[in-house]
Amino acid sequence: MHIHILGICGTFMGSLAQLAKQSGMRVTGCDANVYPPMSTQLEQAGIDLVQGFSEEQMEYKPDIWVIGNAMSRGNPLVEAILNSGDKYLSGPEFLAEQILPGRHVMAVSGTHGKTSTSSMLAWILEQAGLKPGFLIGGVPADFGESARLGEGRYFVVEADEYDTAFFDKRSKFVHYRPRTLVINNLEFDHADIFEDLGAIQRQFHHLIRTVPQQGNIYSPKGCEPIDQVLDMGCWSDTYSLSTLGSVGEAAWEAVPGKADCSRFEIFYQGQSKGHVEWGLIGEHNMQNGLAAIAASTDAGVSVQQATEALAGFQGVKRRLEVVADSPSITLYDDFAHHPTAIKTTLEAVRAKVGSDSILAVIEPRSNTMKQGVHKSDLSESVTSADMRVWFEPEGLDWSLAEILSPEDRVFKDFDLMLATIEELSMNTNEHLHIVVMSNGGFSGIHGKLADRLNLQAPGKEN
């Protein structure tokens, strides 16, 4: 079978392309911007890439056109495909039709933590010898790739609530038909496609409708938006998760043994089952780890096997990843782009570093952020940082300076911002932790700061 993928360099579609190639298909594709690192990964996998969306690509004559959700009507290749009457599918449809049949699908959903929890779950299954397949919206350090076909029965998928394609406005995850479902949390996000939280909850209800009666659903105890979704109708067994520290209140519980949550104990039905001691920090990661451990038991993995696997878990790129350091400065890259994620990330760093100085550098560039949906929560989200620097991106139709405290520094000039960060770092006596948060490339800020501050990749001598 030959497939041609439109929008192939996106994280999801690029990962899907690699799964298709591993399945023995011929894979070609195109995108508006064909550039590394995704283009390099695809080319190394033997996938031919085309720049742009010209009608001439109809000459490929694939068996199926796979159309990414970044494509829209008016695109010349899209219009040619529609006119031709050829078969076309969305990425999630293709995954469901060609990759997932016969697999026990373990889906991880929610507003936050999907990538991390999916990575943890896949790693637990891998360490248990189950050779899982996976498709994750990030790169787990332990695997070094975002997707793998796998050899075993189990397939872990990051279940995104974003819409499927221009011709299918349902959430991607309704296509996956999971037997094991994790719902990490639920808040309003993606204001560019959802009118309100209720619209997102309706999509989660549609997802729950696809979980079989013999399937299992794991979700945090006391999360009202999730409880409301479950009240719409649920036909599967549900298991509550809790990190509140009171044992016996939920089916699965994690109790921190250290303030930064780098050690925590696991309880099931009120009984201690083991503990995790790992390199990650923060209550949010403890919550993610608890969900991954609980879900892994659906595959017959023991809690002891799961905790041992997480002890060696190396994390996910762009999730509080140390990208450069020196004896006096540590530079982190983090994907946080929602006030809740910003807050939990900075709280985790504070719990870890104590009285050291924290400088948060934030670019609010997501569609939801640009619309100002969460602007009232931004000032509160950064209180754990001693210094806050914000970059106001183009397309923001409201003023960052007007909603932040006077101590926060807001810049529209990137170079001036870099100079200010350099000045702040020189005037700090304590060890400085610079946490850069953006869901984009942020104009290569990490490398530029590393050069200015004489930082090296971790483990290298300065």
Report whether pLDDT(457) > 70. yes
* Domain final residue pick, 311, 334, 369: 311
- Residue 52: which domain range? 2-94
Which residues, at least 6 apart from 429, have a Cβ–Cβ distance to it below 8 Å? none
User: ω before 220 within 30° of 0 (cis)?
Assistant: no
Segment 182-209 mean pLDDT: 88
The CATH number for 136's domain is 3.40.1190.10
Answer yes or no: do 169 and 245 share one domain.
yes
Average pLDDT for residues 277-296, to the nearest whole number?
Answer: 92
Predicted pLDDT at 461? 53
Q: How far, in Å, are 196, 371, 394 from residue 188 at the CA level?
A: 7, 13, 23
* Residue 316 belongs to some domain of the structure: no
Q: Flag whether 119 is in a domain.
A: yes
Q: What percent of the chain has pLDDT over 90?
A: 65
Q: Give the model confidence (pLDDT) of 173-182 as tens digits.
A: 999 999 999 9
Q: How does pLDDT run across 409-445, given as a tens digit for each residue?
A: 999 999 999 999 999 998 888 899 999 988 777 888 9
Rg (CA), the chain: 22
426/365: higher pLDDT: 426
Core vs surface per residue 192-231: b (16+ CB within 10 A) or e: ebbeeeeebbebbbebbebbeeebbbbbbbebebbeebbe
pTM check: above 0.85 = no
**Any domain includes 28:** yes
Where residue 195 falls among pLDDT bands split at 50, 70, 90?
confident
Q: Return d(Cα 248, Cα 449) in angstroms, integer.
A: 47
pLDDT over 70, % of the chain: 96
> Residues in the chain, how many?
462
Which residue among 78, 94, 110 closes a domain? 94
Whichever domain contains 337, its CATH number is: 3.90.190.20
Q: Average pLDDT of 109-129?
A: 94
In this prediction, residue 367 carries a pLDDT of: 67
Q: Is the pLDDT of residue 79 over 70?
A: yes
Please spell the DSSP secondary structure of 267-278, one letter per residue: EETTEEEEEEE-
**pLDDT tier, 126 (very low <50, low <70, confident <90, very high otherwise):** very high
On whether both 302 and 446 belong to a single domain, the answer is: no
Segment 136-149, tens digit of pLDDT: 987 888 888 889 99
Residue 248 corresponds to which amino acid? G
Number of structural domains (the chain) is 3
Q: Give residue 371's pLDDT.
A: 67
pLDDT mean across residues, the chain: 90
164 with 283, same domain? yes
54 & 141 share domain: no
At position 225, the amino acid (one-letter code) is P
142 and 69 in a common domain: no
Calculate mean pLDDT across residues 33-41.
75
Region 289-309: what's the mean pLDDT?
97
Residues 131 and 279 in one domain: yes
- The confidence band for 460, taking pLDDT boundaries of 50, 70 and 90, is low
Q: Is 459 part of a structural domain of the chain?
A: no
